[in-house]
Structure 1
Amino acid sequence: MTKAQWVVDASHSEVGFSVRHLMIAKVKGTFHAFDANIVADPADLTSAEISFNIDLSSVDTRNGDRDAHLKSADFFDVEKFPTLGFKATSISQTSEGEYTVTGDVSLHGVTRSESFEVTFEGTSRDPWGNTKAGFSATGAIKRSDYGLTYNAALETGGVMIGDEVKITLEIEALQQA
């Protein structure tokens, strides 16, 4: 196979996150609107070109009040900073089907280099003859690195919201003709 253009099949993909709450539990959420530009040869993913964008206004934590707060100036400030962007700068294979993808994450007006662990799940043809590729990715960022510092101290010690945000992606990509 040679390098080809791939697009995210959003109906078979998910972008999720979790963050510690009250030092004792985790709040999880997803983003419903995202897209990617991928140019890759599944036989050599180390040469892939990847960019990814998330519409932050599509955040969903299953709590409307919390979602509205996340969209506000206390957190994402979606009026000024509507997207989270990622552009890969290097991809290294760590073992069979396993990769470390490093790139620039742009969030809240700040761009920083971050790394994510990616598993290539393989390729398959769907019943209509389309070639699909599957990827799983995990990583974590510190929200304070991006100026997202809203918090409250707890009487029992610690803070209401953890600094580390774990990110998970389950991506099914469709090869373009």
Structure 2
Amino acid sequence: MKKVLSLAFIMLFSVSIFAQKVLVSDPAHSRIQFSVIHLTINDIVGNFDKANLNIQADEKNFLNSKLNFEVDVNSINTHIEARDNHLRSADFFDVAKYPTMTFTSTSITKGKQKNYYNVNGNLTMHGITKPVSVVLVYRGSVVNQMNKKDTHGYQVLATIKRSDFGVGPNFPEAIISDQVRIKGDFELTER
């Protein structure tokens, strides 16, 4: 009887392992863009050029999947070197102390539109972890003709408050908006 139960457990465990696949982002085709309003009149846009997304995708039910991303904050790029250096300083991100930003999902639910998902999770930025919600958009899959791999497109959309994470506390809303819009674009392949 013990052998039968052990065999059943192993088979059940094996099925759950095979029902998942790990998708990892392609660094050459993945980044996170952010946008803030400067002086209440103009959008300033920048990127984090080094951002990794991975999805432990449950092939039977995507809502059971796990999503994680990590951003190298030092890779901030607004195309103005002096501004980028200021954003890296203790006035804003303090990359010497807090070099990475991470997000780990805690739940995924279907959105109102096809291929849209609401993802709740924990965002850690500037040494502070807070629950946030992001929208995940599945953009489709194709076979990449260069490497013959299935490539999956995902987009992450969110709006957060920089004040929730202590970023730029000495810069009021009249100079830089508290709300930061985020858009991440990722191409992923199976590991």
Structure-2-length-normalised TM-score: 0.85
Q: 3-state SS of the aligned residue for 1:69?
A: helix
Matched, 1:124 2:142: yes
Report if aligned partners of 2:21, 2:59 keep a CA contact under 8 Å in 1: no
Which structure has the highest helix share of the two? 2
Runs of 4+ deviating beyond 4 Å: none
- Residues 15-54 of structure 1: pairs in structure 2 closer than 5 A: 15-41=32-58, 44-54=61-71
Q: Residues of 2 paired with 1:84 and 1:114: CA distance?
A: 13
Q: How far is the alpha carbon of 1:108 from its aligned partner? A: 0.8
Report if aligned partners of 2:53, 2:186 keep a CA contact under 8 Å in 1: no
Aligned to 1:162: 177
Q: How far is the alpha carbon of 1:3 from its aligned partner? A: 1.6
Q: How far is the alpha carbon of 1:121 from its aligned partner? A: 1.2
Q: Deviations for 1:76-127, whole angstroms, at most 9, x for unmatched residues?
A: 0000000111000110012421100111000111100111111111222112
Aligned to 1:150: 170
After superposing the two structures, state which structure 1 stretch, 140-149 or 38-47, moved more: 38-47
Aligned residues: 171
Report if aligned partners of 2:33, 2:183 keep a CA contact under 8 Å in 1: yes
Q: How far is the alpha carbon of 1:41 from its aligned partner? A: 3.5
Cα gap change, 1:34 to 1:14, in 2 (>3 Å): closer
Aligned to 2:186: 171
Structure-1-length-normalised TM-score: 0.91
Which structure has the highest strand share of the two? 1
Q: 3-state SS of the aligned residue for 1:161?
A: coil
Give the root-mean-square deviation of aligned CA atoms.
1.5
Q: Could you tell me the percent identity over the aligned residues?
A: 34
Unaligned segments of structure 2, at least 5 residues: 1-17
Of the two, which has the highest radius of gyration?
2
Report if aligned partners of 2:30, 2:51 keep a CA contact under 8 Å in 1: no
Q: How far is the alpha carbon of 1:42 from its aligned partner? A: 5.4
Aligned to 1:155: none
Q: 3-state SS of the aligned residue for 1:57?
A: helix
Q: Residues of 2 paired with 1:61 and 1:16: CA distance?
A: 10
- AA aligned to 1:96 is K
- AA aligned to 1:173 is L
